[in-house]
Amino acid sequence: MKQQRKYFGTDGIRGKVGISPITPDFVLKLGWAIGRILSKGYHNKNKVLIGKDTRISGYMFESALEAGLSAAGMDIRLLGPMPTPAIAYLTRTFHAAAGIVISASHNHFEDNGIKIFSEHGTKLPYTTELEIEQEIDKQMQTVEPMRLGKAKRIEDATGRYIEFCKSTIPYNISFEGLKIVIDCAHGATYNVAPNVFSELGAMVKTIGTQPNGFNINAGYGSTQPQALQTAVIHHHADLGIALDGDGDRVLMVDAKGELIDGDELLFIIAQARHKAGDLQGSVIGTVMSNLGLEQALKKQDIPFKRSAVGDRYVLKMLQETGSNVGGESSGHIICLDRTTTGDGIITALQVLVTSIQTGLPLHILKNGMKKYPQQMINVPLNSNEIDVVSLPAVQTAVKEAENILAERGRVLLRKSGTEPLVRVMVEGTNKQEVEMITQKLANVVKIATNI
């Protein structure tokens, strides 16, 4: 049985700013602990990159991490506001021991968090996160003055990453003649994404590119794509791209203003890879992936497997099965033949290349997949320690729901890895039936978990 982590969740450490553990003193100690562990024989490198998104608290936590790492004898390279996948990429190209991201992804500015990439540009192993946690509980000791780490700002980080993104598509592909609206959620991609697509020839219109420290993900981005849908219609654009606050997720909008979610994007990319003979292993989805994705891939004899929810688990299954394409409904897509982590810009580029090479617009490309009606209700929990699925009343309700759906759908209950709530998801062929079963099951869970 795995030892439980105290601070790390499924996507780093995250929470409300000013409330433990997202406080300056904790982050100072965290930086020190990271430095201590990385210098204990795991690497022969003593350099750590720090990047952040655009929320106001990033300044505070950047300084705290810098001080903690320096106290442990690690040199620091400051990247400033950069997308999460850019930090993964730059960690590899700078041959750093680790890359640290200060971000709470798609959450609003009141939250923040810390994510850590290994020297390979992937999330840290579970065991290393445990070791860092154990180090945090020790008395902090500063190295002797001669060994204190130095900090330096990398001035050309944005340009390096833009060039990398462009290098992931064939050199002879041009976006000339395409009108694209890009929504950067007032987040970390605001100074990167528009340049990538305009340098490739597209006519780019932007929204959500004026961060002020407080407006990240507020009314814009992949979690609130309505503004993009409106903008695509208003500008008579060919398509729209909605990134989240740290740039690792993307949703798209076709010329009709219709949303294309992560399952549909994954289908478009996987189908193109398959036809080109470049698809390796299975397509990896998650337990939340729409049943329509699985069936559409099956019709083309493309194997499909489901991992647990979270890009860490998608990546793990990709590596275990020798596969190269996987992702989540939320738009967190990993093209392992292009980069090491979910990347919204690179995902959008792969979809656009497919559209150009086939001559088909997005609304046609997604037609090969028919989504099943799916409903999800988040039920808040008084305690995240409750084992919801094992409660007798919940087990009975789930069995009843599964009997009603039979072979026409499925039921999934899943505790959130970042918030005290349980996600109740039902999928089936009949929308009204799905909504009714979801609401009934959510009510049972609410009553059973709040007694």
Q: What is the pLDDT of residues 231-289, one digit of tens each?
A: 999 999 999 999 999 999 999 999 999 999 999 999 999 999 999 999 999 999 999 99
What is the pLDDT confidence band of residue 388, given thresholds at 50, 70 and 90? Answer: confident
Could you tell me which of 216, 206, 23 has the C-alpha nearest to residue 105?
Answer: 216
Note the pLDDT tens digit of each residue in 72-97.
999 999 999 999 999 999 999 999 99
Q: Which amino acid is at 93?
A: T
CATH of domain 164-259: 3.40.120.10
Buried b (16+ CB within 10 A) or exposed e, 93-129: ebebbbbbbbbbbbbebbbbbbbbbbbebbbbeeebb
CA atoms within 13 A on the CB side of 230: 8
Could you tell me which of 4, 242, 210, 21 has the C-alpha nearest to residue 112?
Answer: 21
Same fold, 164-259 and 374-449: no
Is it the case that residue 42 has pLDDT exceeding 90? no
**Which option is the CATH number for 13-155: 2.60.40.10, 3.40.470.10, 3.40.50.740, 3.40.120.10?**
3.40.120.10
Q: Which amino acid is at 449?
A: T
For residue 363, the model assigns a pLDDT of 94
Q: Which of 39, 70, 103, 105 is catalytic?
A: 105
**Is 289 noted as a catalytic residue in this protein?**
no
Distances in whole angstroms, Cα of residue 159 to Cα of each of 93, 231, 369, 421: 13, 28, 37, 40
Q: Are 390 and 430 in contact (CB under 8 A)?
A: no
Sequence spans of domains, the chain? 13-155, 164-259, 261-344, 374-449
**Which option is the CATH number for 374-449: 3.40.50.1980, 3.90.1300.10, 3.30.310.50, 3.50.30.30?**
3.30.310.50
CATH of domain 261-344: 3.40.120.10
